[in-house]
Amino acid sequence: MRKFISLFLISFSANALDLTEPSVAGFISNRLQRIDSMIQGCVNRQEVPGAVAILVKNGRIGYYKSFGLADIDSQKPMGKEAMFRIDSMSKLITTVAALQLYEQGHYNMETLLGSIPPEFDQPEVFVSWDEEKQTFNTEPARTKIRMKHLFTHTSGIVYPIFTNKGRAGYMEAKITDAFPDGDSFSQPSGFYR
């Protein structure tokens, strides 16, 4: 089995930022060559087909390069504006954004989640799945979800893929699943096999 490493970045418009010399952005130019070597090495060893790397400091882009291929089958080179599937990396990005809001005093760890998106004001918990009626049986939660529960993964919110109880209900409600085409992951075209 081939070792597979995934590198994911958020796709955004770099045009909104200033591209400048690395030293002006606060980076040491010759040290950035280490990034080149590391990423190109991953491409050469076929650990990833391609990657895009960007370093931003104080609103200035000091490093922005693409490596390898965007599509193996067509041999299409990776472009800087490529879009990536980021999978679970969205959790890290969301956490950083949430912690920035925490630092700015917009909420504390005891803040009720329902005071932010009101859909969580009256949480209900799963009791069972009625196979015949194809419906969820729920009851009101004994406690409200607080921000600390999100950060400690104790809110009780689950992904459909991590439970077989009521999965059909999630799909009926069009709650997206990590693997909408079935129970197994199939790699997108162009990934190393």
Three-class secondary structure of residue 50 per DSSP: strand
For tokens 């196979």, the residue is: 131
Asked if residue 144 lies in contact with residue 110, where contact means CB atoms within 8 angstroms, the answer is no
For residue 134, the cross-strand partners are none
Output the pTM of the full model: 0.54
Give the C-alpha separation, 121 to 115, whole Å. Answer: 7
Give the C-alpha separation, 43 to 52, whole Å. Answer: 11
Asked if residue 182 lies in contact with residue 160, where contact means CB atoms within 8 angstroms, the answer is no
| 149, containing H or E segment | helix 147-151
How does pLDDT run along the chain (193 residues), one tens digit per residue? 233 333 333 334 455 677 888 888 889 988 999 999 999 999 999 999 999 999 988 888 999 999 999 999 999 999 998 888 777 788 888 889 999 999 999 999 999 999 999 999 999 988 888 888 888 888 999 999 999 999 998 998 876 666 666 667 767 777 665 555 544 444 343 333 3
Give the C-alpha separation, 115 to 99, whole Å. Answer: 17
Closest CA to 7 of 33, 43, 56: 43
Asked if residue 50 lies in contact with residue 43, where contact means CB atoms within 8 angstroms, the answer is yes
